[in-house]
Structure 1
């Protein structure tokens, strides 16, 4: 909901950035017409100056909010609507200020310009309906009020037509607003679905750990960053000892529970923000660690091996074998060599009697 609100605010401001210059262009053309028909220069100049000033304030406000990323501010829409109301009021003033100097055809030119501005603003302001209302109501209120006020049947009919025109514009704005909401909703649902599909493509469905394909991608990224940042990278390869016998003896459902519990224990042991856990296949897991000393990692692994057998529902004695591969800052080893080295460390741990930790000493 918050994201959708910010998206609508962004559309509102971006649309206004594009539309505001037209206020200056059309007001300048209207001012030229008014001056041509002998409307006082001071009056037209004051009105045009007001249009330009308010337009610039609105434009820089929209630009500043977008540039500074202030879309979440609660006062944003209040300020925007206030400035839009001021803009509509200045446009409406063009009618009642110049009316004493206008012939009927010129009066209709002013009304035509107001109608064009109010219809054109649907695209930019319907993202937030109060802003649209604030723009068109003060724009046409003087026209309707004046034509009803003079108590002339023809003028009353004209005022009624203007009122119906505003109602039609409001209905159009509401329909456009609903269509925009549906589009944003569908867009957000699409993004959520894409994110969900992406997550499914990189995670193991049983344990929730990242899968092997994602491991290769992340490891290559980390190796690239390590060379750039000169940082320490360490891989830990973990294997559940005698897992095949566990599956054969207790069944696959129990084996699945063992894997899930293993992941939970690994997440508790390696819980820093940037520690990442992968299931490479079967009962084999890998943890990728950044900027952590080898001694600290060994201590964590020793504690994990120590407490792991006591953390199973049926009390069965299950152990872990662990291979550790610190990758030196100046190492130029590629992906295949790294995997081979950490596999070798894990193999030695299992050959040493299981429930062991072996650190690969050197990889260049």
Structure 2
């Protein structure tokens, strides 16, 4: 149980404090000004600087929704994953078809030369797909263009090979077998790759266009019939690719919306509804994170417990709506007193706030506390035609975290220091584990 001085008398003999319960004339301030938390949300918990000086994403448990760029990258990776199963199918099917139709005896240069060509192309595609995630991180646009170019090159290669068979051996088993295999590969590719806007139409066109050209150059009755059937086939491909494309992207956008809603709900659960600063649960999570981080780094960690002086008296004199306005203004003032993005202000409960200062020793924490005392003292609020000042007391505790210590003890030490500041006269700070009369600082009126 945290100890607090609960006396609300204008002259508190127990604490020796002179409480300004009277109404004084002070310039007005805006009551509904947006807080710093609303203008610059603090993602919970704060990200830790990395080796490059940047900041890693916030350690929220919910997933960060993908941006449009990330969705595009994900589409390329999904395409590569699906296409990887067919990378070495091209040389395998070509070799099987030519051996089954005894084409190797008639055109050995055609058969074995293209086995080598398709094999080399498959190796290049496999190596590129292996390095694709890293390439997408470094140069996403160039990496995507390279992947699409290799995919279309494979399709065009196979289409030209089918066209060559129809030109060299019209109406023979090799030509008809290649034509059926090509139709099957186009249908399979349309199903696997139809969600990718860059390959949705170019892939089947690259594979079928050479075949259509070969059929047009040799207008045999059978070829003309096949061309008519290919028109129906193309209409089917367009419709099926539309369904594949629609299903994929609707699923991706639905997932992103769900992630966004989950993140907003998590942020709402970690935010105090009145002051719009992080709440107690958010602070506990942040404290655990910073404690573990400083245990690894060996740095300092400071906690400031801030309590408004005689807040019950303010509520009784001016009403709870004015008290809410007071809490909002104090939350904003405390955040403005923090000088770094890693400093963390949260509402601890009631009229209490807690401040977490990573990589801050006792002297630095004391300077921040003095700035906060000044910021709160300068606050002025108006209730109807009357204006009132507010003050606060602050307990400061600093430690070098170790695994054999507890983070809760640091908060308890800050609470003990706050209790000392209250007994020392309020409107002041006190450092933990030191005599309050020798180490407390009073802000003069």
Q: TM-score higher than 0.5 here?
A: yes
Q: State the alpha-carbon separation in 2 of the partners of residues 31 and 66 from structure 1.
A: 36
Q: State the alpha-carbon separation in 2 of the partners of residues 312 and 18 from structure 1.
A: 69
Q: CA deviation at 1:356?
A: 0.7
Query: Can you list the C-alpha shifts for 1:321-347, whole angstroms capped at 9, x where unaligned?
Result: 100011134584424433322211111
Q: Does 1:278 align with 2:346?
A: yes
Among 99, 114, 131, the residue aligned to 1:47:
114
Among 322, 327, 331, the residue aligned to 2:399:
327
Q: State the alpha-carbon separation in 2 of the partners of residues 279 and 50 from structure 1.
A: 68
Q: CA deviation at 1:65?
A: 2.2
Residue 340 of structure 1: aligned partner: 412
Query: Can you list the C-alpha shifts for 1:55-113, whole angstroms capped at 9, x where unaligned?
Result: 22223223222134438622333333322221111101222323324653332210111
Residue 80 of structure 1: aligned partner: 147
Residue 91 of structure 1: aligned partner: 158
- 2:255 is paired with a residue whose SS is helix
- 2:389 is paired with a residue whose SS is coil
Residue 350 of structure 1: aligned partner: 422
Contact in 2 for aligned 1:121/1:132 (Cα 8 Å): no
Deviates more, 1:232-241 or 1:266-275: 266-275
Q: CA RMSD in A?
A: 2.3
Q: State the alpha-carbon separation in 2 of the partners of residues 209 and 87 from structure 1.
A: 56
Residue 23 of structure 1: aligned partner: 90
Where structure 1 has 5 or more consecutive residues not aligned to the other structure, the ranges are none
Q: CA deviation at 1:176?
A: 0.4
Contact in 2 for aligned 1:145/1:159 (Cα 8 Å): no
Q: State the alpha-carbon separation in 1 of the partners of residues 180 and 430 from structure 2.
A: 84
The 1:352–1:48 alpha-carbon spacing in structure 2 relative to 1, beyond 3 Å, is same
Deviates more, 1:260-269 or 1:174-183: 260-269
Among 190, 194, 204, the residue aligned to 1:136:
204
Q: State the alpha-carbon separation in 1 of the partners of residues 351 and 90 from structure 2.
A: 68
Residue 42 of structure 2: aligned partner: none
Q: State the alpha-carbon separation in 2 of the partners of residues 271 and 124 from structure 1.
A: 53
The 1:307–1:214 alpha-carbon spacing in structure 2 relative to 1, beyond 3 Å, is closer
Residue 240 of structure 2: aligned partner: 172
Q: State the alpha-carbon separation in 2 of the partners of residues 222 and 130 from structure 1.
A: 45
Where structure 2 has 5 or more consecutive residues not aligned to the other structure, the ranges are 1-67, 435-445
Among 132, 152, 163, the residue aligned to 1:65:
132
Q: Would you tell me which structure has more helix in proportion to its own residues?
A: 1
Residue 105 of structure 1: aligned partner: 173
Greater RCO (Cα-Cα under 8 Å, separation 6 or more): 2
- 1:129 is paired with a residue whose SS is coil
- 1:237 is paired with a residue whose SS is strand
The 1:229–1:282 alpha-carbon spacing in structure 2 relative to 1, beyond 3 Å, is same
Query: Can you list the C-alpha shifts for 1:147-185, whole angstroms capped at 9, x where unaligned?
Result: 344334443122110222122122211210111110010
Q: CA deviation at 1:36?
A: 4.9
The 1:271–1:222 alpha-carbon spacing in structure 2 relative to 1, beyond 3 Å, is same
Compute the TM-score of the two structures, normalised by the length of structure 2.
0.75
Query: Can you list the C-alpha shifts for 1:286-324, whole angstroms capped at 9, x where unaligned?
Result: 111111121122112112212322223424210011000
